[in-house]
Amino acid sequence: MEHGTWINATLVYLGAAVLAVPLARFLGLGSIIGYLAAGILIGPWGLRLVTNPQDMLHFSEFGVVLMLFLVGLELEPKRLWALRYAVFGWGSLQLLGSAALMMAAGVAFGIDWRVALVGALGLAMSSTAIGLGVLNERNLMSTTSGQSVLSVALLQDVAAIPILALLPLLAMSEAQASGGGWLAAVKALGVIAVIVLGGRLLLRPALRWIARSETPEIFTAASLLLVVATASLMQAVGLSMALGAFLAGVLLAESEYRRELETDIEPFKGLLLGLFFIAVGMSIDFAVVLHQPLAIAAVVAGFLLLKAAVLWGMGRAMPIPKPERPVFIILLAQGGEFGFVVFQTAQTGGSIGAQTSSLLVAAVAISMLLTPLLLLAADRWWIPILAGQSRKTLPELAEPQHQPVIIAGFGRYGQIVGRMLYANGIQPTVLDHSADQIEAMRRFGWRVYYGDATRLDLLRIAGAASARVLVLAIDDVEQSVEAAKMIRENFPELTIVARARNVQHYYELLDLGITHVERETFDSALMSARSVLEELGWGRHHARTLALRFRRHNIDQVVKLAPHRKDQDTLIAAIKQGRQQLEEQFAQERDDARRRQKRAGWSAPPDGDASSAAGD
């Protein structure tokens, strides 16, 4: 393969990724595992389409550099300060506690302390990509466990920088550490100071000057140049390229060009990270795994159990509900993609040997492959046990209810509906599946029952057969549609008043025959538009009239376009036509207002004032 042309190599890499990644995501294993599997498939221990993965591994490491640049862009000082206790407190406890236990275990088994330290630091990291992906998939990001996983992952992203900076020092001899090491440290600090000070003074003006050229591809080139330049500068003094990229990202975290930089860098980061994971999969030395299966199994089991012990203690001390603790522990106990970077960097620098690096890389990859299986096992056995214990402290819906209104979902949307009903003497039956939300509402005196509104038996107890209205305020779109289908099938006389996240959700509910549907941000956006018109000189009454007219037109248009929503050409043409009709209608009203003013002997003011006079 190495003697082939570059186009054949590109065909192999892209073909493997296109086949393996969608299949892995379809199986619920995540894209990273798909990339790893693709690398294993085409690598020396698979089909042997690639026999020397090191060249690709060195090239694709730039994907990690871009990833850390984007991490730096997200770390605004305000965000770090708001999360300071969770990030630097619990995050440091997880990382340092896990690393200390694993290093102690390694030294106890006779491993050199430097090798044990490198292994412990690499294995203490968790997969941010898998962790956040699972949280989004399970709609857990806003829960206590979700925020806890995010905080720990954020600390790991930050800690990755000093860990990478530490690795070259571990590889130094004593003479280097006492002589040349000090000189290298001084050079490194000087370069960091140059990047920080130069970035503060020069980066924004330079980006502003480039942006004035109004050439998008040049701004993209400048974004990549910025990352490459800072990374190369750090590499020149013996430090990690990722550290330079991270510093550049932090310097631009509050820049007005932050979002544009993210947009430009993200596609390159995703592609190169994918190639990096493919290269990692190819570089797994299965000879080590086959010759030392017991050692691999012991490393995997050992570091998972040690990390899980630390996380279990954290879960008990943190305000994480019992049913959410298994996900918290499993997502952070696994190894992470940055462990690959640590071990590869340590091997290149001479801190650990190639055989040890292969063993550790294989252990991390196996732990990532095991994570989906561990989550499935937890869903079947562990979480139900904890949920049963947790529900004993929650208000269970055990007796039949007979209220005229049921509210399913008591988040920010359902609470507003509930407060309006309570203010008018109506006490609804409220259901929510979040233990955190129920505990919070109970402190304010609300009677909220624990339960999933997609369960038929629970809705029967809630009184759906006799209630007049059910407010469907579930946040998750799929669960909302599932609940709506079940309610329509089993309680056809029950009127559903539903919340829609967006137009597509609106259409799915409309297809089920639900006519009382409100898009959650539509009316608030119209109120903002009214405020803008009033600030520009329109009268309050006329601004209100225009907003109501726009609302009616928009709703009529959405309903009218429902049959054509899958026909893109017809849909676009109808939207353009509707927008033109609305603009013509408003323009005609402005002309009528001017003519009325002229007949009354007024001088015609500007458009905004004319509308104001006509409205008031």
Region 197-225: mean pLDDT is 76
Interval 119-174: pLDDT, tens: 999 999 998 767 766 776 666 766 777 778 878 887 887 787 678 777 777 765 44
Question: Which residue would you say has higher pLDDT here, 293 or 578?
Answer: 293
Of 263-272, 496-505, 577-586, the range with the lowest mean pLDDT is: 577-586
Q: What is the pTM of this model?
A: 0.55
For tokens 């296109």, name the residue. Answer: 18
Structural domains in the chain, CATH included, are: 6-172+179-384 (1.20.1530.20), 405-520 (3.40.50.720), 528-615 (no CATH)
Q: Is the pLDDT of residue 275 over 50?
A: yes
Residue (of 130, 94, 50, 561) closest to 370 by Cα position:
130
Q: Which residues pair with 499 in a beta bridge?
A: 518
Q: In which band, very low, low, confident or very high, does the pLDDT at 117 lie, cut at 50, 70 and 90? A: very high
Residue (of 332, 284, 327, 323) closest to 54 by Cα position:
284
pLDDT of residue 610: 41
pLDDT of residue 98: 94
563 secondary structure, DSSP code: G
Of 425-429, 437-441, 576-580, the range with the lowest mean pLDDT is: 576-580
| Interior angle at CA 305, CA 302 and CA 307, nearest 5 | 105
| Interior angle at CA 73, CA 69 and CA 76, nearest 5 | 140
Contact 242, 68 (CB under 8 A): yes
Interval 31-84: pLDDT, tens: 777 887 888 888 887 788 877 766 666 666 677 677 667 767 766 656 656 667
Region 446-458: mean pLDDT is 79
3-state secondary structure (DSSP) of residue 499: strand
3-state secondary structure (DSSP) of residue 491: coil
Interval 312-338: pLDDT, tens: 999 888 878 788 888 899 999 999 878
d(CA 413, CA 474): 9
Interval 495-539: pLDDT, tens: 999 998 887 888 888 888 888 888 888 888 888 888 888 888 888
pLDDT of residue 3: 47
Query: Which two tokens mark 173?
Result: 């001899």
Q: Is the pLDDT of residue 413 over 90?
A: no
d(CA 53, CA 285): 11
pLDDT of residue 314: 92
Q: Is the pLDDT of residue 582 over 70?
A: no
pLDDT of residue 185: 59
pLDDT of residue 589: 60
